Structure 1
Amino acid sequence: MKKILFLLLMIFSMSNLFSQEIALLKYQGGGDWYSNPTSLPNLIAFSNETIGTQIASQPATVETSSPAIFEYPFVHMTGHGNVYFSDEDAKNLRDYLLSGGFLHVDDNYGMNSYFREAIKKVFPNQELTELPKSHPIFNQFFEFPNGLPKIHEHDAKPPQAFGLFDKDRLILLFTYESDLGNGWEDQEVHQDPEEVRLKALKMGANILHFVFTQN
């Protein structure tokens, strides 16, 4: 029933020029899932203005185990700390992703090891795979020939984008050492130059467009 509902929602969404809501994931473990509060609203506004999406201006918040997650074609996850998925969380998230959903995980610095351990509970037989610079997600409305852009410097490591796939469909994107969400925030939060914020917003719009058209 959940899968049928999700497919109907996706068909309805596409017929209305991407008109839908997206959601922020509220997960267990103590990590600050609520960090970067202005990031998604700013990304939505930018995407609606530049690439023609019609996404509700404020994202919803959805818990990992909630059936409501099936209402959202795109779910965003971020934070700095611990991530924990219960058995119920893991099953619900797996069902969601395999039935057409998409999860974007943006490491806000410090969640890498915790997320990698948690996602093994969801997909124990899969490994995160680095996306090549030629992947279509980097060449949607905006071109990023060098792959994922660097937004914030933390450990002097290059930005990397990792994915999980269901056959040929990308179902999860993990952006690491880039900190896109910080770039989406209001300018006064991190004092980023406008060209840096614009890179982050363009990459975010690419992700949204890729998710909607891939499905």
Structure 2
Amino acid sequence: MIPLRRSVRVLLLCGIVLGWAGYEGRAAERENGRLTIARMKYDGGGDWYNDPEAIPNLARELQLRAGIETNPDQRVVTLTDDLLYSSPFLFMTGHGEVRWTEPEIRNLRTYLTRGGFLYADDDYGMDEAFRREMKRVFPDKDFVELPFDHPIYHIIYDFPAGPPKHHEHDGKPPQGFGLFHDGRLVVYYTYESNVSDGWADEKTHNDPPAKREAAFRMGINIVAYALYR
């Protein structure tokens, strides 16, 4: 395993989660000194629940490799759930359709502009619906592809070519996109990469160890960046 970068490792071991301080809802999340990763439950028919073991597996690796104290279970939330605001890191994935109501749109906008972070991973077929709904959240913002020198690709592990390619899908190159608010990355979106499938149990997709290793490393980078940005 590649050693953690020294500066990041010192912060992690000291428990200084710098990015949490600016998020209004994070006090409840720090009560037991642990991070809880939330998974978004949404309507529209897409399988938001795909690979339910993915987040618990990532939580284990965050604790073992990076020293980030993480609750072993994911928190399933809707965008109208009050618990949304006590989760600094929100994850979503799925295949196909995504639909948010107007109250959900407003809540997600509030969550992101107050310091929350959304990581969305297209598990195949989610791209059109997700982009459409995010345009409702931020009508004046567009996704931009993150350059390969962006810190999210280097904060702990190096990914000099951007997000890893986990599953082939349409055979296109993997891409990582971002939405920014006041100069801060609030949404990170992976397309044709499917990183989160690599967090599933080994038997779920029968992926080779090297691919699963890359997926966990990228996941650790994403969470670390979200907490330290």
Bin the TM-score by the shorter chain. over 0.9
Which of 45, 58, 63 pairs up with 1:30?
A: 45
Distance 2:189 2:25 in 1: 27
Residue number in structure 2 paired with 1:127 = 142
Quote how far apart the aligned CAs of 1:126 are.
Answer: 0.7
Describe the superposition over 1:91-133 as per-residue Cα deviations: whole angstroms up to 9, x where unpaired: 0000000000000000000100110111111111111111000
Q: Which whole-Å CA distance do the structure 1 matches of 2:59 and 2:96 have between them?
A: 25
The 2-side partners of 1:15 and 1:59 are apart by 15
Alpha carbons 2:43, 2:98 under 8 Å: kept? yes
Q: TM-score, normalised by structure 2?
A: 0.87
Instruction: Give the Cα separation in 2 of the matches to 1:10 and 1:152.
Output: 37
TM-score by length of 1: 0.92
Structure-1 separation of matches of 2:151 and 2:32: 23
Which residue pairs with 2:24 in the alignment?
Answer: 7
Superposed counterparts of 1:59-98, under 5 Å: 59-98=74-113
Q: How does 1:143-182 map to 2 (within 5 A)?
A: 143-182=158-197
> Cα–Cα, structure 1 residues 182 and 51, in superposed 2: closer, same or farther, change >3 Å?
same
Q: Structure 1 residues 177, 14: CA separation in 2 closer, same or farther (over 3 Å shift)?
A: farther
Q: Does the CA-based 8 Å contact 2:29-2:86 persist in structure 1?
A: no
Query: Structure 1 residues 5 and 88 mapped into 2: Cα distance closer, same or farther (>3 Å)?
Result: farther
Whether 2:152 is the aligned partner of 1:137: answer yes
Indicate yes or no: 2:68 matched with 1:47: no
| Cα distance in structure 1, aligned partners of 2:217 and 2:69 | 16
Tell me, which stretches of 5 or more residues in structure 1 are unaligned?
A: none
The letter of the residue matching 1:9 is R
User: Does residue 103 of the first structure (1) align with residue 118 of the second (2)?
Assistant: yes
Verify the 8 A CA contact 1:152 1:177 in the aligned structure 2.
Answer: yes
Alignment CA distance shift 1:105-1:12 (3 Å): closer
User: Aligned pairs, how many?
Assistant: 209
Cα 1:72–1:185 change in 2 (3 A) is same
Percent identity over the alignment? 41
The alpha-carbon deviation at position 14 of structure 1 amounts to 11
Q: CA deviation at 1:9?
A: 2.1
Q: For each residue in 1:122-173, what CA deviation from the matched residue of structure 2 results, as whole angstroms up to 9, or x when unmatched?
A: 1111111110000000001111111111011111100000000012210001
Distance 2:39 2:31 in 1: 21
Q: Residues 44, 12 of structure 1: CA spacing in aligned structure 2 closer, same or farther, 3 A cutoff?
A: closer
Offset of 1:202 from its aligned partner?
0.3
Tell me if structure 2 keeps the 8 A contact 1:66–1:92: no
The answer to whether residue 228 in structure 2 is matched with residue 213 in structure 1 is yes
SS in 2 for 1:29: coil
Cα distance in structure 2, aligned partners of 1:128 and 1:99: 19
Structure 1 contact 63–69 (Cα < 8 Å) conserved: yes
1:89–1:12 distance in 2 versus 1, CA, 3 Å = closer
Please say if residues 85 and 121 of structure 1, whose CA atoms lie closer than 8 Å, have aligned partners that are also in contact. no
